Amino acid sequence: MSSLVNSDQIRAQFSQSMSAMYRQEVPQYGTLLDLVADINRATLEQNPELRRQLEEAGELERIDLERHGAIRLGTPEELATMRRVFRIMGMHPVGYYDLSVAGVPVHSTAFRPIDDAALRVNPFRVFTSLLRLELIADPELRDQARQILARRRIFTPRALELTQLAESAGGLDAPQAAEFVREVTQTFRWHAEATVSHDTHQQLNAAHRLVADVVSFKGPHINHLTPRTLDIDAAQAEMPRRGVAAKDVVEGPPRRRHPILLRQTSFKALEEAIVFAGDGTPGAHTARFGEIEQRGAALTRAGRALYDRLLGQVRSMASAGSTAGDYQARLEAAFAEFPDDLDALHDQQLAFFHYRVRDAAAFDQAAGSGAAFDLAALRRAGIVEAHPIVYEDFLPVSAAGIFQSNLGGAEQKSYAANAAQELFEAALQAPVADEIALYAQSQQASIDALRQRYAALQP
């Protein structure tokens, strides 16, 4: 029997395959990757300490790799099958995001690796949205969209076969894994031929641009990929210099000494030539773009509540004539209240941490002395160090900002807040994991490991 490939390796191959395809499909994405690589190189040159930390964490070679992509699905069946496909690559649904609040008729999850070891191998995740047809007001158009979606098959027959095979055999061998990645990549390919007529596309567009994007095509084209930058503000400033149309503001928290959560920016979606079904009328469609991200500490529920409150404050301070420059100033003013000091973040339990022994000899000595395990005391003595856990998820307000800036139109309909996690999970045929619980577990596991190591050294 040939041996099975680790799911983390399949995910790494998949993210590479997606990157190669997207670079070919969207040349401007290649420009963005070059820009990010230049900024990252310059940042590392100016900051040897950061370089050392990344080197120690084994991250230096992977800096410029894509961290996430996004797709939009049309039906519950597509979502349920996508879950099975991603599972084979070690990606599981984490978090529920209601985007209806932001005027986008979808709800979403992120398929991502969960345990720390898998994240270290390759953190690639896919932000996956499901269209909510029930939010289309016109019943006739809603029905029509439903019928169009019911007819399409987004996976190749071979991708489905290999998925089943992986499920029954508990994995794939190397040739099968390579074929699986090739076949699954097909699902996310761009199709310049719409499956609908010009008329229908216009009607769908009028209902919501996102509805047209999901319903008019043969499959869920990847709509962006996102590499990691070490300095998002520098990258944002560099985009226009290289002829890339950046969105107005960086989403998320302001620049800080100790980054929290996630900061993102993107270049605006390109207008691409398409042809309509039937008579082959030429047309245009705007959906695909490039994005960059910079990640910081995962926040506890208390930290997240503070973040949400401050962000709400920033938004309510906006006035009609506000500019991007004002936004930065408001953001910084509001977030002055969010401690930017590791001890404060730790002691006020605003962020999650991993604990590591910094001084092994002193640790051994403390344990050997017979004193009880006291994490706070070990930290105070500098024997144990706390490192923030990286936030691996998304932010609904930021996601909404990314969606909005890439729908190609100014005016967007809004919907009443309408979270429907149960409906989403019914479509997914599985629950989504609670991301905050995952960080809490990861923190606890690092404490437990220290405690065990300590106990083993006790007299």
Is residue 72 near ligand OOG by the rule CB under 6 A? yes
Encoded one letter per residue, x for contact with Ni ion by CB under 5 A and - for no contact, window 68-87 reads --x-----------------
Is residue 98 near Ni ion by the rule CB under 5 A? no
Angle at 98 between CA 81 and CA 136, to 5 degrees: 80
Contact by Cβ (8 Å): 40, 65: no
C-alpha span between 186 and 219 (Å, rounded): 9
Region near ligand OOG per CB under 6 A, out of 171-179, 181-189, 241-249, 395-403: 395-403
Please identify, using beta-carbon distances, which residue of 13 and 109 lies nearer to ligand OOG: 109
| Element of type H or E holding 282 | strand 282-286
429 backbone φψ class: left, alpha, beta (φ>0; ψ -120 to 50): left
How many Cβ atoms sit within 10 Å of the Cβ of residue 302? 12
Handedness of CA 130, 154, 9, 38 (dihedral sign): negative
Is residue 398 near ligand OOG by the rule CB under 6 A? yes
CB of 236 to Ni ion, least distance (A): 15
Please identify, using beta-carbon distances, which residue of 405 and 443 lies nearer to ligand OOG: 405
C-alpha span between 83 and 91 (Å, rounded): 8
Is residue 295 near ligand OOG by the rule CB under 6 A? no
Sole binder of ligand OOG in the list 70, 166, 310, 384 (CB under 6 A): 70
Which tokens sit at 102?
A: 């932001």
Contacts with ligand OOG by CB under 6 A: the residue count is: 13
Query: Which entry of Ni ion, ligand OOG, none binds 403, CB below 5 to 8 A by partner kind?
Result: ligand OOG
Contact by Cβ (8 Å): 450, 375: yes
| φ, ψ of residue 77 in degrees (nearest 5) | -65, -40
Please identify, using beta-carbon distances, which residue of 230 and 386 lies nearer to Ni ion: 230
CB of 346 to ligand OOG, least distance (A): 27
CB of 432 to ligand OOG, least distance (A): 16
In single-letter form, the type of residue at position 135 comes to: L
Contacts with Ni ion by CB under 5 A: the residue count is: 3
Encoded one letter per residue, x for contact with ligand OOG by CB under 6 A and - for no contact, window 143-182 reads ----------------------------------------
Is residue 399 near ligand OOG by the rule CB under 6 A? yes
CB of 233 to ligand OOG, least distance (A): 17
Residues 213-232 that bind ligand OOG (CB under 6 A): 223
Residues linked to residue 350 through DSSP beta bridges, in sequence order: none
C-alpha span between 83 and 264 (Å, rounded): 25
CB of 35 to Ni ion, least distance (A): 17
Region near Ni ion per CB under 5 A, out of 30-38, 116-124, 288-296, 317-325: 288-296
- The candidate with the shortest Cα–Cα distance to 427, out of 211, 133, 130, 126, is 130
Query: Which entry of ligand OOG, Ni ion, none binds 235, CB below 5 to 8 A by partner kind?
Result: none
Contact by Cβ (8 Å): 14, 121: no
CB of 100 to ligand OOG, least distance (A): 14
Is residue 187 near ligand OOG by the rule CB under 6 A? no
Is residue 251 near Ni ion by the rule CB under 5 A? no
The DSSP line for 4-16 is BPPHHHHHHHHHH
List helix spans (H) across 73-173: 76-87, 116-121, 139-151, 157-169
Please identify, using beta-carbon distances, which residue of 253 and 339 lies nearer to Ni ion: 253
Beta strands in 288-361 (DSSP E): 290-295, 353-357
Is residue 291 near Ni ion by the rule CB under 5 A? yes
Which tokens sit at 436?
A: 């905050």
Region near Ni ion per CB under 5 A, out of 103-111, 183-191, 214-222, 291-299: 291-299
Structure letter (DSSP) for residue 253: S
Region near ligand OOG per CB under 6 A, out of 14-22, 182-190, 368-376, 397-405: 397-405
CB of 207 to ligand OOG, least distance (A): 17
Contact by Cβ (8 Å): 378, 363: yes
CB of 405 to ligand OOG, least distance (A): 9
Is residue 236 near ligand OOG by the rule CB under 6 A? no
Please identify, using beta-carbon distances, which residue of 40 and 264 lies nearer to ligand OOG: 264
Residues 5-64 that bind ligand OOG (CB under 6 A): none
The DSSP line for 174-239 is HHHHHHHHHHHHHHT---SB-SS-HHHHHHHHHH-HHHHHHHTSSS----EEEEB-S-HHHHHHHH
List Cβ neighbours of 374 (8 Å cut-off, separation of 6 or more): none
Is residue 132 near ligand OOG by the rule CB under 6 A? no
Residues forming contacts to ligand OOG in the complex (CB under 6 A) are 70, 72, 127, 129, 223, 264, 291, 394, 398-399, 402-403, 406
Residues forming contacts to Ni ion in the complex (CB under 5 A) are 70, 226, 291
